[in-house]
Amino acid sequence: MKEILKTLDNRKQQLSQSALCRHLANETIEPLSRLSFTPAMLFFTMGFKDILHVLQDYSDPSPMQRSVNTHCEEDSFHWEWYLKDLERISYGRNFLNLPRTAVFAAIWSDRLQPVRNVVYDAIYLARTYTSPFHRLIIIEALEATFDCFNEPVFQLVYEMGLQDELEYFGQTHFHSEANHAMEKTTEDQESAAYHNYQPARYEEDIAIVIINRIFNAFEEVFTCWHQEGLRPQTV
């Protein structure tokens, strides 16, 4: 597990330095404009529910799979928070007020292909590596990538005083993710989250492949979202 945790930590540190994360934390840029890319998240946020659905398996009574199911249940409705926030953020309202054909054309545009790819890739991994251990690794990797995003976003929203108004980008989501993090604050607790499972070497190798593939996909997504944030937008 040590090599797996080391890989997760190294990739998180790298992703935290992405142009998107630095853009979100850049106090020289007008706060609201730093959220202008949020409509480009729509396919991922809606597709995340499908990723979780593939990871669930109620026919497997093992403790590790039960942990997977519980985690998926806890996160499966976050898309509802996102849709509400889109209507509360001016950039989101403007996007949703576009003609439906324009909205669909934007979501499935070439420039947002990386956003769709990360959903497709995660579903492929979930269908390919179906052991409860590897399903937990997929969840862990997805959480780790979004930790890099959530930290500057939550800080930005707090600076704007919108932490109570916004749900996906605000306090509601923050507390939900904090509860997950509290369960794994030490190496022993991390191991306990996997029910002290000792993976074979080949399972560790596969886990590292999964982690790197998910982080590679999110590097492209973060670049895509950053570029969207630099595009001229109507407030």
Contact status, residue 226 vs residue 126, Cβ threshold 8 Å: no
Mean pLDDT of 200-212: 97
Through-space distance between the first and last CA atoms of the chain, rounded to whole angstroms: 47
**Residue 182 has what pLDDT?**
44
What residue spans define the domains of the chain? Answer: 2-230
pTM, entire model: 0.91
144-195 residue pLDDT tens: 999 999 999 999 999 999 999 999 999 888 877 766 554 554 555 555 667 7
CA distance 64 to 70: 10
6-36 residue pLDDT tens: 999 999 999 999 999 999 999 999 999 999 9
92-149 residue pLDDT tens: 999 999 999 999 999 999 999 999 999 999 999 999 999 999 999 999 999 999 999 9
**Residue 186 has what pLDDT?**
52
Q: What percent of the chain has pLDDT over 70?
A: 91
Q: Alpha helices, DSSP H only, in the chain?
A: 2-16, 19-24, 42-55, 63-75, 78-88, 90-96, 100-107, 113-128, 132-159, 171-182, 187-193, 201-230
Mean pLDDT of 208-228: 98
Tokens 């956003």, located at residue: 115
**Residue 60 has what pLDDT?**
95
- CATH, domain range 2-230: 1.20.910.10
**Residue 184 has what pLDDT?**
53
